[in-house]
Structure 1
Amino acid sequence: MNLVPAFVRRRLAHRPNLVKILDNIGWLFLDKVLRMGVGLLVGVWIARYLGPEQFGLLNFALAFTGLFAAISGMGLQGIVVRDIVRDPQGAPLTLGTAAVLMLIGGFVSYLLILATIAYLRPDDPLARSIVAILGAIQLFKASEIAVYWFESQVQSKYTVWVQNGVFLIFAAVKVGLILSQASLTAFVWATLAEAAVVAVILLVILSWRGLNFQALQANISRAKSLLKDTWPLMLSGVAISIYMKIDQIMLGQMVGEEAVGIYSAAVRISEVWYFIPMAVVASVFPSIIEAKKRGEDEYYARLQKLFDLMVLMSLAVALPMTFFSNTVVGLLYGNAYKEAGSVLMVHIWAAVFVFLGVAGSRWIVAEGYAVIDLQRTILGAVINVALNFWLIPLFEAIGAAIATIISYAVADFLADYARKNTRRLFYMKLRSFDPTKMFRSFGWLN
C-alpha cells in the first residue's frame, strides 16, 4: 500500500528516492496521527474519569519511569541506524548485539526504578506499586531493534502496522475499563500489557519481513564498539529525560498529584505535536547523510532547509494553540481542568526548540559530536531543575512550563554557540527564523 497519491507519484517517477521518503513519512504520519486522534480521545476520557488527582498520580508514575528509559535504550537508535546504512552486511551482528545490550540496560533500569521510588515515597504504597508495574516496560526495550531495522530501510510501515494495531486494541480495552468503572491500577496493568504485546509482535515482524531473527548475532567486540559510540548518547538521553520529565516529578513532590494532573493535561496537548519532527527527520536524514558523500555544500544546504522546515512547522503549531488554549482545554477536559489552559498557552512554545533539537540531534550523531551533545544536554537539565526549584513554589504548574521552555532553548539552541564545532549549527538554526527561508521548496529531499 502506497500513501503517496498516484498523481504525485507519477510526477515524481524520475525521483524514486523522493517517492520512497514521502511514502515513509506518510506511514509515520499515519501512525502518529492515529495515535494523536484516538490516543487523545481515550486519554481525555481517562482524565475525566480519574479526575485531576488520580490522573496526576498516573502521569507522575509515567514521568518517573520515563526518567530511566534512556538507560534501557542506551542511546543506540541513531548509532544502529547509521551503522546499518553504512554497512548493510553487518546488520545481523549490529542488531543482535544491540538487543543484548538493551536487555541488560532494561534490567538495570528496572532495578533503579524500584530502588528510587522506594526512597522517594516510602509511605505511599499505591505510588510504589504503580511505578513498579509501569517500570517493567523497560524490560521489553530490546524489541525496538525491529524499529531500527525498518527505519534504516525506510520501511516504517511495518512497525506502524504493529504499533497501531495493538494500540487500537488496547484503546478499546481502556474504554472498557472506564465503562466498567475500573480502578486506577487496572489502567496501569493495561499499559504494561500493551507494551509486552507490541514487543512480541515487533520481533515476529522483523523475522518475517526483515532479518531472520535466528540470524542475529552478538559478540563482545561489537558491544564494545557500540558502547564507545553510544555511552555519551545514553548519558545525554538520561539528561534529556530529566529536563523533559522532571517538571511533573517535582510538581508531584513539591505541590501534589492534582497539580501534576493539571500540568499533564496541558502537556499532553502540547507534546502531541512532537511526532511531526520525529517522523520527518527519521525519513529525511538518511538522504542527508548520503548527500555528505557528494560534498559538504550540498550536505549543509539540505540541513539548513531541514531547520527552516522545523521552524515553520513549529510556529504553525504554537501560534494557533496560544490563542485557543483555554477553548481547547475546556472542550477536551472540562471544568475540572480549566487551569490547564494557561499552562498550555506557555508550554506550547517549547515546540520551537524541540523541533530544532530533533533535527540537530541527528547532525550530532552524523558528525560524531556525542560528547558535546551530552554536555549541552546536561546543562539544559541542570537549568531545568534549578528553575523548577525557583518557579514551582511561585507559579506552580505555569512555573514548570516556563522552566521547560528556557531549558529547551538552552539545550537545543543557545548551547550550540558555546563551542566552535557547533557554532555553525547555531547560526544555521538562527537563520531558520528568517521567514523568507521557511517557504523554500522541498526538492532537496531527493
Structure 2
Amino acid sequence: MSSLKRIAKNTGVTFLGNNAFKILSLILVIFIARYLGSESFGRFSFALSFTGLFAIIIDLGTRLVLVRETTKSKKDASKFLSNTLILKLFSAIITLSIIFLLINILKYDSITKLSVIIASFGLMFNSMTNSVISVYQAYEKMEYSALVKIGKVILRFLFTMSILLIGLGLTYVLIVYSLIQLFGFLISLFIYNKKISKLVFNFDKDLIFRFLKSGFPFLLSSAFVEAYFRIDITLMSKMAPKTVIGLYNNVSPEVVIGWYSAAYSILDSLISIPNALSVAMLPVLVLYFKNNRNKLKDIYNHSIKYLS
C-alpha cells in the first residue's frame, strides 16, 4: 500500500473513531448535565479540566517520542513501551501528589476535592493508554486505537446512564469514568500483546533518560497547548461572577462552569478532521524524514492542500 493510501486509510479510521467517540461523549455530557444539574455538572467539568492540566507532567513529552522511535525501530517497540510505562508510573505518583496538594491549598469545598482526586486516577490510566496507542500509531494500525476509544465510550455511556437513572450522583459518575479509563488501558495492552508484540518489562535507565531529553521540547509545547485549552475552567472556578445581570443572583462558580462547559463540548467536536490527518501522517513523515526528504515534502504539501 502506498504512503498516500496508508495516510488516507488511517485518517479515515481515526476520523470515524474520533467522531463516534465525540458524538457518544457529547450525548452523554448532555444527559449528565440534565441529570446532575448545573452545579454538579460544573464540578464534574472542573474536575476533568483541572486534572487535565497535569496530563503533560505524566506524559513528559514521551508520546511523540515513542511514536518516532518505534517508527524507526519496530523491533524495539516492546522495550520502548515498557520503559515509557515505567516512567509514567513514577511521574503519575508525583503528579497525583501535586494535584492532591494543590486542590487543598486552593481551598475548594470537600465535594470538589473528592471529585478531583477521583478524576486524577482516570487521568493516569488514560495517559498509560495513550502510550500504547502511540505504538499503534507507529505501526499505522489506527483501527486498534479506534476500537479502544469506541469500546471505552460505549461502556462509559452504558454504565454512566445506568448510574444516573438509578439516582446516583457526581461521585459515582467520576468513579465510572476512572474505571473505564483503567479498562481502556487493559484492553489496549491486550490488543498490543495479541496483534503487535508481547510486552516484556525490561528497565533501561539510559533509554528513559534519552526519552526524557528528547521529550523536553514536546513537553514545553504541550504545556502551552494544555494551558490554552484547559486553564479557562480553572480560572472560572475562582473568578466567575456571582451575579449574571438580568438573569440570576447569587450564582455559584460551579453553575457558571456548567453552562460554559455544556456549550464548549459542542464546539470541541469540530477539530476531528485536522487531528485525524496529523495522527495518520506522523509515522509516515518520520520514515521519509530519514529516507526520502523529497517524498516528505510532497506528502506535506498534499496535506496542506487537503486541509485548506
Distance 1:219 1:261 in 2: 45
Counterparts of 1:58-73 in structure 2 under 5 Å?
Answer: 58-73=44-59
Name 1:248's counterpart in structure 2. Answer: 233
Q: CA deviation at 1:128?
A: 0.4
Does the Cα contact within 8 Å between 2:64 and 2:218 map onto a contact in 1? no
**For 1:114, which of 100, 125, 139 is the aligned residue?**
100
Q: CA deviation at 1:160?
A: 1.9
Distance 1:26 1:226 in 2: 30
Distance 2:282 2:120 in 1: 32
Q: Which whole-Å deviations, capped at 9, do the CAs of 1:321-349 have from their partners, x for residues lacking one?
A: xxxxxxxxxxxxxxxxxxxxxxxxxxxxx
**For 1:280, which of 277, 280, 286 is the aligned residue?**
277
Q: CA deviation at 1:49?
A: 1.8
Does residue 1:49 correspond to 2:9, yes or no?
no
Distance 1:188 1:86 in 2: 39
Distance 2:296 2:148 in 1: 34
Does the Cα contact within 8 Å between 2:39 and 2:258 map onto a contact in 1? yes
Counterparts of 1:44-443 in structure 2 under 5 Å?
Answer: 44-122=30-108, 124-140=109-125, 141-214=127-200, 216-255=201-240, 256-293=253-290, 296-310=293-307, 438=308
Name 2:250's counterpart in structure 1. Answer: none
3-state SS of the aligned residue for 1:218?
coil
- Distance verdict in 2 for CA 1:264–1:308, change over 3 Å: farther
Structure 2 counterpart of 1:89, one-letter code: K
Q: CA deviation at 1:297?
A: 4.8
Distance 1:291 1:208 in 2: 28
What's the C-alpha RMSD, in Å, of the aligned pairs? 1.9
- Return 5+ residue gaps in structure 1 as ranges: 1-14, 311-437, 439-446
Structure 2 counterpart of 1:284, one-letter code: M
3-state SS of the aligned residue for 1:137?
helix
- Return 5+ residue gaps in structure 2 as ranges: 241-252
Q: Which whole-Å deviations, capped at 9, do the CAs of 1:389-429 have from their partners, x for residues lacking one?
A: xxxxxxxxxxxxxxxxxxxxxxxxxxxxxxxxxxxxxxxxx
Does the Cα contact within 8 Å between 1:134 and 1:192 map onto a contact in 2? yes
Does the Cα contact within 8 Å between 1:34 and 1:164 map onto a contact in 2? yes
- Answer 1 or 2: higher relative contact order, Cα 8 Å, separation at least 6: 2
Does the Cα contact within 8 Å between 2:52 and 2:123 map onto a contact in 1? no
TM-score of the superposed pair, with normalisation by structure 2: 0.89
Q: CA deviation at 1:277?
A: 1.8
Distance 1:251 1:50 in 2: 19
- Distance verdict in 2 for CA 1:114–1:276, change over 3 Å: same
Q: Percent of aligned positions with the same letter in both sequences? A: 24
Q: Which whole-Å deviations, capped at 9, do the CAs of 1:173-211 have from their partners, x for residues lacking one?
A: 111122222211111111111111111111111111111
Q: Which whole-Å deviations, capped at 9, do the CAs of 1:77-107 have from their partners, x for residues lacking one?
A: 1111111111223222222211111111111
Radius of gyration: which is bigger?
1
Distance 2:290 2:59 in 1: 29
Distance 1:134 1:293 in 2: 40
3-state SS of the aligned residue for 1:231?
helix
Distance 1:19 1:235 in 2: 33
Structure 2 counterpart of 1:47, one-letter code: A
Q: CA deviation at 1:127?
A: 0.5
Q: CA deviation at 1:28?
A: 1.3
Q: CA deviation at 1:129?
A: 0.5
Distance 1:79 1:252 in 2: 34
TM-score of the superposed pair, with normalisation by structure 1: 0.63
Distance 2:195 2:289 in 1: 30
Structure 2 counterpart of 1:287, one-letter code: V
Does the Cα contact within 8 Å between 1:95 and 1:217 map onto a contact in 2? no
Name 1:355's counterpart in structure 2. Answer: none
Structure 1 counterpart of 2:275, one-letter code: M
Does the Cα contact within 8 Å between 2:42 and 2:261 map onto a contact in 1? yes
Distance 1:199 1:66 in 2: 17
Instruction: Give the length in aligned residue pairs.
Output: 295
Does the Cα contact within 8 Å between 1:59 and 1:261 map onto a contact in 2? yes
